Amino acid sequence: MIDIMAVNDGKYVSIGDIEVNDTEKKIDHEFMDNLVCPYCGYEDEDAGDYLETDHGEWSCDECGKVFSFQADYSITWCTSKIIPVEEIKSD
Ligand SMILES: [Zn+2]
């Protein structure tokens, strides 16, 4: 339950309670491999091929609502052995 408040002359006035939609909370739309609509949960597996920027707005192919997107980058690290010069010359 969320208490909805309205501002009236700078004072908060409660205008009632609403039930939070349970299905809305269950949509997994962050840190996904594809764009996932935060409204209906539709996963657009092709959108990534068309995106020319790493952030912006996209309209859902399923429900038609517009939502914002932002790419999330993660860094991976590689290591390699350093061979001492003497070992290479010994042949
Ligand atoms: Zn949608």
User: pLDDT tens for residues 40-84?
Assistant: 999 999 988 888 899 999 999 999 999 999 999 999 999 999 998
> Is 37 within a domain?
yes
How many angstroms does the Cα of residue 15 sit away from the middle of ligand 1? Answer: 29
In order of 4, 6, 40, 68, 73, the CA distances from 48 in angstroms are 37, 39, 18, 14, 14
Residues in the chain, overall count: 91
- What distance in angstroms lies between residue 76's CA and the mean position of ligand 1's atoms? 32
Distance CA 37, CA 45 (A): 11
Interval 5-15: pLDDT, tens: 555 556 665 55
Distance 18 CA to ligand 1 centre (A): 22
Q: Calculate how far, in angstroms, residue 66's C-alpha sits from the geometric centre of ligand 1.
A: 8
- If you ran DSSP here, which 8-state letter would residue 34 be given? S
Domain count, the chain: 1
Q: Is residue 46 part of a domain?
A: yes
- Is 77 contained in some domain? no
| Residue 50 forms part of a structural domain | yes
Boundaries of domain holding 65: 2-70
| In the chain, alpha helices (H) | 22-25, 47-50, 85-89
